[in-house]
């Protein structure tokens, strides 16, 4: 069976990962969309259980090139899930205060508490991606950081956090179309940044930075998934399925009711 999970220790060459692949779900878009909505309902139930049980923590990391679909994935996958107990953090260019600290300082406080799902829209990985591409850190610093990141994520995992990391993989043509759409559609125009056009020119450098980062940080406790993301429905289906499977594996139970509940009389 096709899987997009990166086995720990495997060297990733992104050219070999087709952003338009659909072989993991062979029944086509119509059935895929139906399955997506069923899985969303299941996710809603599992999230309610996670919240009630108040034991496990779940961290979802989303990384992608510009217009790669991070926002759309969050909107689609968590559509219908009770917002209580789910929090999204979008990591932007660090503030001066954040830059005065180590790069994980701003991240740790947004990690999930018991019963919570935390979604990172961009993450600590920016510190080995955009910074690397722009020469703010060199390869040696990145190698050190991969080790910090693995240790940091292991700390979270050993303290009860399930970590799922998704790289939403689109290709250059798809990005072009999506950026053009941002210009063409008045409702999307606010999202357009001239900077995105400049970053696009550095595509190859970004791919190398992603390959190195993903290869070094896909671990048993925090694996990466390289999700073919040219097709939105397919991307969403894979992410929600992976989340549902991970939550099912936690084998959660609703807490016991308060003692004496059988005798309670509601007047
Ligand atoms: P998004 O593209 O995620 O929807 P923005 O358009 O506001 O949101 O872009 C956020 C920007 O912040 C991106 O260009 C990203 O590379 C940058 N950024 C995030 N984290 C860091 C970091 N640690 N160092 C430098 N730049 C960062």
Of the options 3.30.930.10, 3.40.50.300, 3.30.200.20, 1.25.40.10, the CATH number for the domain spanning 14-183+192-249? 3.40.50.300
Distance from Cα 91 to the centre of ligand 1, integer Å? 6
Cβ(93) – ligand 1 distance below 6 Å: yes
Distance from Cα 92 to the centre of ligand 1, integer Å? 4
Q: Which atom of ligand 1 is found nearest the CA of 90?
A: 3
Q: Can you list the residues of the chain whose pLDDT is less than 50? A: none
Cβ(127) – ligand 1 distance below 6 Å: yes
d(CA 226, CA 86): 23
Cβ(221) – ligand 1 distance below 6 Å: no
Cβ(148) – ligand 1 distance below 6 Å: no
Distances (CA, A) of 95 to 103, 105, 106, 120, 262: 11, 12, 10, 17, 54
Task: Give the residue whose CA is nearest to atom 16 of ligand 1.
Answer: 130
Q: Output the pLDDT for position 224.
A: 98
Task: Give the residue whose CA is nearest to atom 2 of ligand 1.
Answer: 66
Distance from Cα 103 to the centre of ligand 1, integer Å? 14
Distances (CA, A) of 49 to 38, 82, 87, 239: 17, 11, 16, 19
Distance from Cα 75 to the centre of ligand 1, integer Å? 19
Distance from Cα 126 to the centre of ligand 1, integer Å? 7
Q: Output the pLDDT for position 3.
A: 86
Cβ(174) – ligand 1 distance below 6 Å: no
Distance from Cα 37 to the centre of ligand 1, integer Å? 31
Count Cβ neighbours within 10 Å for each residue of 38-63 and write b for 16 or more, e otherwise. ebbeebeebbbbbbeeeebbbbbbbb
- 134, 126 in Cβ contact below 8 A? no
């Amino acid at each position: 069976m096709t899987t997009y999970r990166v086995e720990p220790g495997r060297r990733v060459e992104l050219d070999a990962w087709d952003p338009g692949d659909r072989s993991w779900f062979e029944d086509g878009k119509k059935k895929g969309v139906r399955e997506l909505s069923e899985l969303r309902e299941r996710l809603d139930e599992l999230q309610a259980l996670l919240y009630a049980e108040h034991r496990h923590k779940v961290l979802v990391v989303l990384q992608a090139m510009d217009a790669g679909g991070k926002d759309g994935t969050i909107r689609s996958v968590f559509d219908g899930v009770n917002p209580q107990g789910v929090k999204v953090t979008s990591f932007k260019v660090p503030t001066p205060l954040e830059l005065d600290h180590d790069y994980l300082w701003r991240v740790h406080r947004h990690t999930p508490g018991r019963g919570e799902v935390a979604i990172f829209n961009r993450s600590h990985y920016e510190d080995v991606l955009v910074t690397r591409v722009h020469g703010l850190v060199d390869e040696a610093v990145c190698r050190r950081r991969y080790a910090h990141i693995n240790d940091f994520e292991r700390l979270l995992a050993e303290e009860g956090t399930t970590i799922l990391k998704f790289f939403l993989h689109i290709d250059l043509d798809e990005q072009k179309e999506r950026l053009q759409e941002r210009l063409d559609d008045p409702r999307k125009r606010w999202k357009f940044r001239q900077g995105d056009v400049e970053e696009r020119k550095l595509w190859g450098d970004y791919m190398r930075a992603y390959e190195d980062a993903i290869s070094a940080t896909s671990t048993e406790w925090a694996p990466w998934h390289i999700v073919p993301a040219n097709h939105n429905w397919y991307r969403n289906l894979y992410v929600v399925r992976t989340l549902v499977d991970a939550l099912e594996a936690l084998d959660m139970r609703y807490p016991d009711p308060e003692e004496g509940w059988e005798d309670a009389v509601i007047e």
